[in-house]
């Protein structure tokens, strides 16, 4: 009789412990699910920020490439103008030197 009472008490305790552990596990699962949602939101925000950074960087690189191309064309045009006018400048300088009178006449 005493053994059957002890068996019933242990069985009831085991069933109570099972329900308590089940409830504790559900609470832990809910907390972990909340943490996972927060992490997912953070990762999505980070991904959006990184994508915006990449787009902005690509836009800046494109703009800088355009500026470099424009400056290169301007410098090329200036060099072409200088190269075209250089022979006449040299002729003028050499002409002044050839026909110059010496300063120290002895």
Binned at pLDDT 50, 70 and 90, residue 40 comes out as very high
State residue 85's pLDDT score.
84
Average pLDDT, the chain: 89
Whole-angstrom distance, CA of residue 100 vs CA of residue 92: 12
pLDDT > 90: percent of the chain = 68
Answer whether residue 104 shows pLDDT above 70: no
Structure tokens at 50: 């990184």
Q: Between 100 and 33, where is the model more confident?
A: 33
pTM listed for this prediction: 0.51
Structure tokens at 70: 């424009």
Binned at pLDDT 50, 70 and 90, residue 96 comes out as low
Answer whether residue 106 shows pLDDT above 60: no
């Amino acid at each position: 009789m005493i053994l059957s009472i002890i068996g019933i008490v242990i069985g009831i305790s085991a069933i109570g412990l099972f329900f308590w552990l089940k409830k504790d596990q559900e609470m832990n699962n809910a907390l972990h699910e909340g943490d996972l949602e927060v992490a997912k939101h953070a990762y999505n925000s980070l991904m959006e920020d990184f994508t915006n950074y990449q787009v902005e960087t690509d836009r800046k690189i494109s703009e800088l490439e355009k500026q470099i191309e424009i400056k290169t064309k301007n410098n090329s045009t200036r060099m072409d103008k200088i190269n075209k006018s250089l022979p006449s400048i040299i002729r003028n300088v050499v002409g002044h030197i050839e026909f110059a009178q010496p300063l120290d006449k002895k």
